[in-house]
Amino acid sequence: MNNSDKKKMQWGTRVGVILAVAGSAVGLGNFLRFPGQAAAHGGGAFMIPYIAALLLLALPIGWCEWAMARYGGEKGFHSGPAIMGVVGRGRVARYFGILAVLIPMVVYMYYVYIEAWCLRYAWEYLVGGVALTGSIDEQVKTAGTFFSQTTGTDTNGVLNMSTVFWLIVVVLNIVLVYRGLRGGIEKFCQFALPAMAVLAVIVLIRVLTLGTPNPAYPEQNVLNGLGYLWNPDFSKLTHFDTWLAAAGQVFFSLSVGFGVILNYASYLKKKDDIALSGFTASATNELFEVGFGGLITITAAFVFLGASGVGGGFGLGFQTLPVVFEQMGAIGRWIGFAWFFLLFLAAITSSISMLQPAKAFFEEALGISSGKAIAWVSAICGLGSLWVIWFSKNMVALDTMDFWVGTFCIFVLATVQIICFGWVWGVKNGAREIDQGALIRIPRVFLFIMKYVAPAYLLVVLAGFTYFDLRKKLGEMAGNPVALWTLIIIGAVVMLLLAMVAIGERRWRAAGMDLDGRRLLPGESK
């Protein structure tokens, strides 16, 4: 790495790195997935398992990642496999570490396409291209047709207008990552996060002041809309799937076990704080999720469409809400633009964080320049993304990648990480690392949680996930060639990454680097 590359790969400010990590975590799930999950699993009562998962799972694992990453960075490593090799003290952890590159790369392949939908919707609202007319039922139908045309969910093999927006967001992602941490990712997140907050407040104010827009349906008002999401149903707390859903939501929302923090925090200096930084990044994510996501989408949909119009996920965001914006009159167009531009910013701050870990790994393993690394990563991810766009019917390729890599592999990586942290590297060494330069002292009970509670919790969640979801998914996949070929593509990327770890090992050993974490730092114990 030359001096110019080194300078590019440093964080500029303390707040900058926090906004970059928070930007990575805040995504579409905060606004679309969280409210749907909460409404379906006990409303306000959902917050009990949600906060439990936050304190016992996501927050401690997040701190572990920050600590492992900075420790790896002190040893000169910035990629997931290399850092896992150091903390996990050897080859097995290093090879499992490819998940920290595989997950962001594969998730990027479909995420960037969803990002293109958001940009396209924002553009269409800006130029007045979304025209929904007729009765509510007709508008729902038109919105559904527009969604199918935008996303290509009704047929395979079509490169439609959204591909142009895909190309724009791909180029934007590449440019931002190529400009480095300080000049690209950090600078962009310093603009994007505050902009997202402003847009969210604008949409929120409009939604909370809707009152009772249709006198024919007095029960469809803002308070009942909020009640639909927040009224607690304690009976749901006795269901295992409520606890599983809460753990999954917190986990994916905070981007733990994703490979991003492992890379981002490796560029911190030895005396930089990680305890308060990790906490602040998580708090920022929760503000967007609970403070905005928990108030906007379901309330808006309920007020205009009633309980039957409320769902979760893409349907709510891309099909139901355009109908809601239409009911708002002239201002609806601008609220629609604000909403989809907010989703676009949430998506792009996440997608740039997905390219960066892979770029760092290519540089580190192959010893190539930053420019060549981003070119290779972009080419591989771009081809994968085109596969997703081409086989868009019923989103089979997208769903397959999302399930196996964007869900299952995240659980596996998080389990490997927490075991390496608590049982191989040791919580004592981990605590020493977290306390170094810390602006807050994390309560010591978290060390117990990191060693015993989080791994146990995670294993229960993984077992529940395997029992409930994995069997179902395997059944769905049987006989679906697109799903099977998508799995083969993921397998090919795995093989490539494994080969690169083998190449990297030779290079790192020849350079005299401590790739197995055998040389202890001052104050560290075996």
Q: Which residue ranges make up the site for other proteins (CB under 8 A)?
A: 6, 10, 13-15, 18, 43-45, 47, 51, 223-224, 226-227, 230-232, 269, 271-273, 276-277, 279-280, 283-284, 286-287, 289-291, 294, 439-440
CA distance 209 to 243: 33
Q: Tokens for 218? A: 């007095």
Closest separation in Å from C-beta 306 to other proteins: 16
Closest separation in Å from C-beta 413 to other proteins: 26
Taking the least distance from each CB to other proteins, the nearer of 375 and 440 is 440
Closest separation in Å from C-beta 326 to other proteins: 26
Q: Is the dihedral of CA 190, 353, 374, 369 positive or negative?
A: positive
Closest separation in Å from C-beta 223 to other proteins: 5
Taking the least distance from each CB to other proteins, the nearer of 239 and 269 is 269
CA distance 285 to 99: 23
Taking the least distance from each CB to other proteins, the nearer of 232 and 313 is 232
Closest separation in Å from C-beta 160 to other proteins: 39
Taking the least distance from each CB to other proteins, the nearer of 20 and 380 is 20
CA distance 162 to 113: 8
**Residues 40 and 303 sit within 8 Å (Cβ to Cβ):** no
- Give DSSP secondary structure letters for 163-212: HHHHHHHHHHHHHHHHTHIIIIIIHHHHHHHHHHHHHHHHHHHHHHT---
Taking the least distance from each CB to other proteins, the nearer of 192 and 501 is 192
CA distance 249 to 245: 6
CA distance 26 to 193: 9
Taking the least distance from each CB to other proteins, the nearer of 269 and 428 is 269
Single-letter amino acid, residue 500: M
Closest separation in Å from C-beta 73 to other proteins: 10
Packing angle, helices 99-126 and 481-510, rounded to 10: 120
Closest separation in Å from C-beta 111 to other proteins: 25
Name the nearest CA neighbour of 17 among 258, 210, 268: 268
CA distance 437 to 512: 28
Name the nearest CA neighbour of 89 among 72, 76, 74, 103: 72
Name the nearest CA neighbour of 189 among 336, 64, 73, 347: 347
Taking the least distance from each CB to other proteins, the nearer of 294 and 455 is 294
Cα of first residue to Cα of last residue in the chain, in angstroms, is 31
Taking the least distance from each CB to other proteins, the nearer of 90 and 183 is 183
Closest separation in Å from C-beta 500 to other proteins: 25
For 441, which DSSP code?
Answer: P
